[in-house]
Amino acid sequence: GESVGLHLPTLSVQEGDNSIINCAYSNSASDYFIWYKQESGKGPQFIIDIRSNMDKRQGQRVTVLLNKTVKHLSLQIAATQPGDSAVYFCAEKGTASKLTFGTGTRLQVTL
Amino acid sequence: DGGITQSPKYLFRKEGQNVTLSCEQNLNHDAMYWYRQDPGQGLRLIYYSQIVNDFQKGDIAEGYSVSREKKESFPLTVTSAQKNPTAFYLCASSIVGTGSYEQYFGPGTRLTVT
């Protein structure tokens, strides 16, 4: 079946440094991926998405990279700020409009 | 002010009681979803609906029921058959048919059953 997982459960980064959050997926037929940010006690918020016909997509301070050869997805956050502290989830599109979520990586920003 | 709302934010129930969680959206989205989140874990799909009067089971539907009588509303009932109902419940909605699969999430309901 489909599965989405993350390499690191917790990532600690100093304020101002760049963060890289990784995600592995298993369904080579997946054609759409999405990153969400979830702050404690709140619902997930959309960060950025990417389709399988792209290798890279940039947003404001964030970049998503997709390597289909090794089925790997990463989220890069530039100049990490304390407000970036949260749990980050990757998800892949499954059948219909469903998304399959990974277990999440907690990003801790230290001052 | 468009969005998706869930109520209440916190809910406490005694074991053996059914409880219904509310989810309303005014985004005019066709699809709606219910997820369960346990501490330190990802989101698991309970039920989803792509159109009014139709819904499908997700990965963990046992002990839950839903209805979709209106486009704006997708209530979730946690029945007494759900063995471990204490969790954080998230509702989401999305557009269908545009090629965008972004789901918009509500603020969640934390259910505690004792």
B25-41 pLDDT per residue, tens: 999 999 999 999 988 78
- B43-51 and A10-14 strand pairing: unpaired
Name the phi and psi angles at A12, rounded to 5: -110, 125
Q: What is the pLDDT of residue B2?
A: 65
pLDDT band at B5 (very low <50, low <70, confident <90, very high): very high
- Give CA A105 to chain center in angstroms: 8
Query: Please, what is the average pLDDT of chain A?
Result: 90
Count of pairs with CB atoms under 8 A, one residue in A, one in B = 51
Model confidence at A85: pLDDT above 90: yes
- The per-residue pLDDT for B97 is 82
Give the model confidence (pLDDT) of B61-112 as tens digits.
999 999 999 999 999 999 999 999 999 999 999 998 887 899 999 999 999 9
Task: Give the burial string for A37-74 (b: 16+ CB within 10 Å, else e).
Answer: bbeeeebbeebbbbeeeeeeeeeeebbbbbeeeebebb
The C-alpha of A99 sits at a distance from chain B's nearest C-alpha, in angstroms, of 8
pLDDT of residue B40: 77
Instruction: Give the mean model confidence (pLDDT) for residues B18-29.
Output: 96
| Contacting residues of A for B94, CB less than 8 Å apart | 97
For residue B58, what are its two tokens? 């997700």
CA B80 vs. chain centroid, Å, equals 17
